Amino acid sequence: MTVRCTLQGDVEVIALDNPPLNSLGLDTRRELVAALEQAQADPDVAAIVLTGSGRAFSAGADLHEFGSPRAGQEPGLAGVIGTMERASKPVVAALHGLALGGGLELAMGCHYRIVAPGTRVALPEVKLGLLPGAGGTQRLPRAIGVGPALDLMVRGEQVAAEALVGIPEQKLFDQLARGADTVLDEAVALARSASRRHAAGAPLPRLRDLPCGHPQGDAYFQSARDAVRAANRNFPAPLQCVDAVESATREPFDVGLAHERERFVDLMRTPQSLALRHAFMAERSARKIPDVAPDTAQRTIAKVAVIGAGTMGGGIAMNFLNAGIPVVMLESSQQALDRGLATLRRNYEAQVGKGKLEPTRYAQRMALLTPTLGYADVADADLVIEAVFEDLGVKEQVFRQLDAVMKPGAILASNTSTLDLNTIAAFTRRPQDVVGMHFFSPANVMKLLEVVRGGGTGRDVLATVMAVGGRIGKICVVSGVCDGFIGNRMIEQYTRQAGFLIDEGCTPDQVDKAIEAFGFAMGPFRMGDLAGNDIGWAIRKRRAIEKPGVRFSKTADLLCAMGRFGQKTGAGWYDYAPGKRDAVPSRLVLDMIERHRAELGLTPRPIDDEEIVQRLVYALVNEAARILDEKIASRPSDIDMVYLAGYGFPLHRGGPLHYADGVGLSNVAKAMERFAQNPHDDAGFWQPAPLLRRLLAGHATFASLND
């Protein structure tokens, strides 16, 4: 049972009881209708209160049902709401915690609504590529006005109920309860008085009966359309919200409701909604480690140490300070420590200057920071994160020191991005406490955290690091140990293809523009100039020793040999005017590329944007399939999460593997066969990975491997 009924005197209290967040799946909808009908028929019941058990009134429609037959089975949520709205007895919603999407729509179908302070409400459907599909676009404008309603729908963000109570003449909330602990009792009292008013002949108030309009009419909606279109180029749902709200001002309620339903069904089928819903589920799946029980005991993390106060170390420290966790930051010299502190202060002061951080919060965070030069000061930390120079010898020194001083049970994490975590763990006598925490620069901004699981990493260590990663606002994805883990290993193949495209006839600008039109925030060459082309240079030099068979285009090395490391040297693949970041195609670089082609004996050929995008994206797909085959990643959606959260893969495409499923794996494989015929390309790389071959043979998709 997911709905519980109790009679309090002459008031029937119907409680949604579907943990964790009272989502409104088919069973709940059926039980709710049955409870409403029973209360309606019961002569001892004068009024009804609808409430939610646990921490939320309701988080809305059951996202796990989306796309399944259950989602479309009667009663639909709009039907449940209609049943409630047509009830002949007063129905009062008692809201606390969260009322989101269909949860808020359900409450709007009641006759009265009382809300506890601190309750947060939203119509977040646009974040799933949808619009409210159970009357929200028709009732909310009637309740709080067209402008506030449209703003809430198009942004999809949660707002405090108190903010909406403050809207003049709003009809969304009839009462602000004294507290979350009294909201139910107050709702019962409200229900009783409503039943008396109703018995005396007063009509039951229904939001659907209220007028709906906007004083500027067409002009308002036109400007709303222009603003929403400009802000949501890749997503159709927000614009649909504008249309639906406009129809609420023009059409009778039931007509507007029918149009809302049509729009909702259409949006459900869009690739954007499929991608957004996939990303929502992928983020939550990534928190689950197949062989680590969700109730695995975690170690307490009350104090963190960061070794290294450089760019990464400072950013890492900020994450924990921002979450209110004390940090001891250690450097090897006072000068380096002072430099690190100055950078950290500058970052915070910039946020204060932009009004993004209150000065008091800045001071609180700095008060949690203890700089030190001595390892003794880090010994009692529960988690220590090494973020020193990317050199195995330096890491060895640090980890031997940490092994000697850290208290038993401390977690020893390395931020390494290219070195073997198992080798690092072997520098200690406690490999079970060693784990990788691969942050992405800037570490206090980028959401992705690759949690690298060594051969000996303890399950409780993994569970603890995943939880603390969530506490500092990261999207954590577990990676096994391999060169480059998940993200960088795949980006290496993407970058190789970018170089080959240059050799074969493209310009850097053409490649960047093609993949940016696909949706990436920044193409590989603009990205190289931003991150520093010398980083890849160092990796290729190492690769040439470790894996001499891996061929790269020479153009990137030639570029670095010219000292063109990118924005930091004022020139890279592109030219940059002093102090500017605008990437200007460089004649010097184009001449270098042309000379290089001549040396290779390559006649440049025209390459269209489709081939550019396919070679870059399918390179990610094929390498991802190998990563899954090697069990470096647990599931395809984890890899999608890495690319969405860490590498700027366009959200409306859902990640490389979700995108490949949409293209059709047989089409991906056909393109790879073509690329394998290209004499300048890497035929071996373009052989479909074993997993891809198995999926093709079974006519299966990457999605079939997601849990």
Residue written as tokens 């391999």? 482
CA distance 331 to 375: 9
Cβ-contact 500, 471 below 8 angstroms: no
Closer residue to ligand T1G in complex, CB, 63/535:
63
Closer residue to ligand T1G in complex, CB, 105/504:
105
In angstroms, what is the minimal distance from the CB of 56 to ligand T1G?
Answer: 7
Closer residue to ligand T1G in complex, CB, 150/402:
150
What does 151-170 look like in DSSP terms, one character per residue?
HHHHH---EEHHHHHTSTT-
In angstroms, what is the minimal distance from the CB of 70 to ligand T1G?
Answer: 12
For β-strands 3-8 and 11-16, DSSP reports them as antiparallel
> Which amino acid makes up residue 541?
K
In angstroms, what is the minimal distance from the CB of 239 to ligand T1G?
Answer: 17
Closer residue to ligand T1G in complex, CB, 133/646:
133
In angstroms, what is the minimal distance from the CB of 60 to ligand T1G?
Answer: 3
Could you give the 3-state DSSP secondary structure of residue 12? strand
CA distance 148 to 159: 11
Nearest residue (beta carbon) to ligand T1G: 101
Closer residue to ligand T1G in complex, CB, 36/241:
241
Closer residue to ligand T1G in complex, CB, 144/660:
144
**Start-end of H helices in 505-554:** 508-518, 524-531, 533-546
Residue written as tokens 């406490």? 433
12, 31, 105, 623: which is the annotated catalytic residue?
105
The CB density around residue 369, as the number of other CB atoms within 10 Å, is: 18
In angstroms, what is the minimal distance from the CB of 421 to ligand T1G?
Answer: 27
The CB density around residue 194, as the number of other CB atoms within 10 Å, is: 24
Task: For residue 480, give the DSSP letter.
Answer: -
In angstroms, what is the minimal distance from the CB of 181 to ligand T1G?
Answer: 21
Report the run of H or E that residue 371 belongs to, with start and end.
Answer: strand 369-372
CA distance 177 to 672: 62
In angstroms, what is the minimal distance from the CB of 23 to ligand T1G?
Answer: 3
31, 85, 125, 331: which is the annotated catalytic residue?
125
Six token digits for residue 607: 């390459």
Task: For residue 58, give the DSSP letter.
Answer: B
Residue written as tokens 């067209």? 146
Phi, psi of 180 (to 5 degrees): -65, -25
Residues in the chain: 707
Nearest to 705 by CA among 639, 616, 618, 620: 639
In angstroms, what is the minimal distance from the CB of 58 to ligand T1G?
Answer: 8
Active site residue 12: no
Which residues of the chain form contacts with ligand T1G (CB under 6 A)? 20-21, 23, 59-64, 77, 98, 100-102, 105, 124-125, 128, 130, 132-134, 136, 284
Closer residue to ligand T1G in complex, CB, 60/458:
60
Closer residue to ligand T1G in complex, CB, 156/313:
156
Cβ-contact 350, 390 below 8 angstroms: no
Task: For residue 76, give the DSSP letter.
Answer: P
Six token digits for residue 129: 């590529």
Nearest 5°: the CA angle 648, 673, 652 is 25
Active site residue 610: no
Q: Which residues are catalytic?
A: 105, 125
